[in-house]
Amino acid sequence: MPIKKLNHVSIAVDDLDQALAFYRDVLGLELTRRVRLEDRQLDIAFLRVGETELELITPLSADNTVARFLERRGQGLHHICFEVDDVAAEMRTLSARGAEFVESEPHPGAVGLVSFIHPSSANGVLVEINQVLAGAEPAATHELSAPVDPGVV
């Protein structure tokens, strides 16, 4: 089961409204949804880019992985997400080929079931794979709930 498409590209930003002033107002991308995740202390905006999306994420407090990412690296690319048909099966396939996953099981994310590949096996980029669930509302409810290695992000 190969990777089907690039589901989204995620960018960590200091301020969501300031970032939207560029990505929405200057580039003209359509803002499709905004989500505030109190449990993860994250504010998220999705913008449509043809068949894929751009995800802007910003922390609501200093105590989360995105805040630590911004502190260490500053604003920029946070992760990319590839869509597959079956995340659990793809995890087994990719693991057998050498991919190191952050967790052993997929979990619910903003775009269905998701799992993250550690940046150390992907040339420094955090890679998410997702499986869209049938009938699932694409609104984010648990985006970035993965315990991503705090040493990296």
Q: Which residues of this protein are in contact with Co ion, per CB under 5 A?
A: 10, 81, 128
In 32-131, alpha helices (H): 65-73, 87-96
Phi, psi of 92 (to 5 degrees): -65, -45
Residue with tokens 């499709």: 32
- Nearest residue (CB) to Co ion, 20 versus 115: 115
Shortest distance, position 55 Cβ to Co ion, whole Å: 6
Closer CB to Co ion, 96 or 108, in the complex: 108
CB of 8 to Co ion, least distance (A): 6
Q: What is the DSSP letter of 134?
A: T
Min dist. Cβ of residue 90 to Co ion (A): 16
* Strand ranges of the sheet holding 30-37, from the earlier edge strand across to the other edge: 30-37, 42-49, 52-59, 5-12, 76-83, 126-131, 112-117, 107-109
Nearer to Co ion by Cβ, of 20 and 153: the residue is 153
Half-sphere exposure of 43 (CA within 13 A, CB side): 13
Q: How far is the CB of 132 from Co ion (least distance, A)?
A: 13
